[in-house]
Structure 1
Amino acid sequence: MFQASKYEGTRKQRVSLLLQQLTALIEDEPNAVANLANASALLAQYLDEINWVGFYLMDPDKDELVLGPFQGLPACVRIPLGKGVCGTSAARRETMLVPDVHEFPGHIACDAASESEIVVPLMKDGVLLGVLDIDSPRKNRFSREDQQDLERFVEVLAEHWR
């Protein structure tokens, strides 16, 4: 669905540019929804071979995740903690890198085209704010390097969260 613009240079240079762009987009904007919308659009431009990228935000009153800004097809609106890849990542407060979503017990299929997924918790001062969720129509799309890069991306978001 998405075709990444060509970021040139080494992986380190490309990621550095991505993080600079993210910071420029969000550093002076206090609205979290606007920042998450720009962050999901930026990742949709940066990443290739993905079919969905966005955020689920923590609803502490209901102990579940609620759909936030995203790029892709319409998605599941609410995900209980501990359910699916997003809910599991949120409950464990750890990144979930899933090479084949069909092998993940209890996977929630919002888009039948998804084959692999990565979910990164968005935390600030020990509080779970939500998760970054990225799906791909290709198995084994996400690497450990992708995980590290996306965890850094989420850290930048958290640093600017107000």
Structure 2
Amino acid sequence: MKMDCIRTTAAGLAVTLALCSPLVAQTATETDNDRLDNAWSDIIEGEGQLLSPTQYAALNNLAFQAAAARVCDGEKLDSEAFGKAVADILVDTETELTDNEHMQRNAAVLISFGTRYGLFVAEANGDNEKDFCAVATKLKAEPGKVPLFLK
């Protein structure tokens, strides 16, 4: 059972890198000098199937752009679009939940977002800030199919 969760979450990370931020994926492989790979592996392994792979990809995209807005000079978030995207993830579940289960799920999703945000901020504040912010600038200029929350 644990391996199924790991595979599902690993698939979610792969979808994230493929769908949400091809620029981040490219930079990660070219300049993987200050990434927190072990920390990412730990959170991915422990998450299970709280969200679908597409939802994890969206959460990573949101966290990356929020971190860019926090760390990179001149980057700001479109708060309205950002809030709507987070709310969409919070309410999008195929499972019928009680009010209490829904509150627990929302808390888990927000913790998952916060963990990702923290890891991106940590990565950006290492020796990698220039590269991290360059990726954010490029994403903003050429988002492709990636939902953009930077203004």
Check whether TM > 0.5: no
Instruction: Choose between structure 1 and 2: higher helix proportion.
Output: 2
Instruction: Provide the TM-score with structure 1 as the length reference.
Output: 0.28
> Is the strand fraction higher in 1 or 2?
1
Higher relative contact order (CA 8 A, sep 6+): 2
- Relative to the length of structure 2, the TM-score reads 0.29
